[in-house]
């Protein structure tokens, strides 16, 4: 890219990578253990079967036959060529990529085609500020959570905005040399997986849900609980929240405000 400040989030380092736009989280069962197993078997199958481009068809046939491809959203393609790129299974990525195949680019056989696969930069590249991209790259060491978080723009920018408002300026990546600060932020981002008020509907992913024919942005009916819209509403939607009563909203707000207060107090102590 000509802009030296443009940060590519897809494969930032040896500790993690993202495969969200290849449909990674679009399986009905997109739990960590299920995806690990799926990607592990694909990678093994690919390396056993594919010695030259003509072998890719057999790999695809066997993969499609072996796996459950039921999707969360029908309109998002789940690509059969996503696997692990390294023996340690720290990086997810494209098994057809030339770096995986001695320079031979085989992505032309894929659903999206070589050009789209090679040139795609998701909206996070444009909407998450550079310093926040650097922070995400610095604090994550886990492909599963990294991809889930970086593609949830509201979850990232709303949180860092609330912190910036309190410390009087944008957070700098260097702040995360302090492990305590890193752990506080990871507590928050881990709620993407462990949030206790998360809707269990399989057609929910962050603030979106799918009614069988189209995506819609979910909403929380605060009026039903006799409340104003929460100042944390965007975060609640990103966490796929579904509240049963007003006490749950109080508790959810308290969890997030406590995390932010803890961050700010720890940050101020280290200044």
- How many residues sit in the footprint of ligand SF4 (CB under 6 A)? 23
Are 193 and 207 in contact, with CB atoms under 8 Å apart?
no
Binding residues among 18-47 for ligand SF4 as defined by CB under 6 A: 18-22
Instruction: Quote the least distance from Cβ 81 to ligand SF4, whole Å.
Output: 4
- CA 184 – CA 182 distance, rounded (Å): 5
Number of C-beta neighbours around residue 20 at 10 A: 22
- CA 127 – CA 148 distance, rounded (Å): 16
Closest CA to 16 of 83, 92, 84, 88: 92
Which of 39, 56, 78, 82 forms a contact with ligand SF4 (CB under 6 A)? 82
CA 74 to chain centre: 19
Which of 7, 35, 56, 79 forms a contact with ligand SF4 (CB under 6 A)? 79
Helical packing angle, 130-139 and 179-194, nearest 10°: 90
Binding residues among 147-176 for ligand SF4 as defined by CB under 6 A: 147, 150-151
By beta-carbon proximity to ligand SF4, the closer residue of 75 and 254 is: 75
By beta-carbon proximity to ligand SF4, the closer residue of 50 and 96 is: 96
Site string for ligand SF4, 103-142 (x = CB under 6 A): ----x--x-x----x--xxx-x------------------
**E runs forming strands in the chain:** 82-84, 92-94, 204-205, 208-210, 215-217
Q: Is residue 49 a contact residue for ligand SF4 (CB under 6 A)?
A: no
Binding site for ligand SF4 (CB under 6 A): 9-10, 18-22, 79, 81-82, 94, 96, 107, 110, 112, 117, 120-122, 124, 147, 150-151
């Amino acid at each position: 890219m000509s802009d030296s400040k443009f940060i590519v989030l897809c494969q930032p380092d040896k500790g993690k990578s993202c495969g969200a736009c290849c449909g990674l989280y679009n399986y009905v069962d997109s739990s960590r253990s299920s995806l690990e197993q799926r990607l592990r078997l694909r990678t093994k199958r690919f390396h056993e079967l594919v010695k030259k481009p003509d072998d890719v068809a057999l790999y695809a046939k066997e993969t499609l036959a072996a796996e459950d491809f039921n999707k969360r959203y029908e309109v998002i393609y789940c690509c059969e060529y996503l696997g692990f790129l390294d023996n340690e299974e720290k990086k997810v990525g494209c098994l057809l990529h030339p770096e995986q195949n001695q320079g031979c680019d085989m992505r032309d056989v894929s659903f999206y085609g070589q050009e789209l696969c090679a040139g795609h930069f998701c909206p996070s590249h444009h909407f998450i500020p550079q310093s926040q991209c650097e922070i995400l790259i610095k604090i994550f060491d886990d492909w599963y959570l990294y991809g889930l978080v970086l593609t949830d723009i509201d979850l990232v920018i709303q949180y860092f905005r609330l912190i910036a408002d309190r410390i009087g300026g944008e957070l700098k990546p260097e702040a995360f040399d302090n492990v305590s600060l890193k752990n506080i932020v990871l507590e928050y981002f881990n709620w993407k997986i462990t949030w206790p008020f998360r809707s269990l509907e399989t057609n929910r992913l962050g603030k979106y849900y799918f009614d069988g024919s189209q995506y819609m942005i979910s909403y929380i009916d605060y009026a039903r609980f006799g409340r104003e819209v929460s100042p944390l509403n965007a975060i609640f939607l990103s966490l796929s929240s579904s509240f049963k009563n007003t006490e749950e909203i109080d508790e959810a707000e308290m969890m997030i405000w406590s995390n932010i207060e803890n961050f700010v107090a720890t940050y101020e102590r280290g200044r």
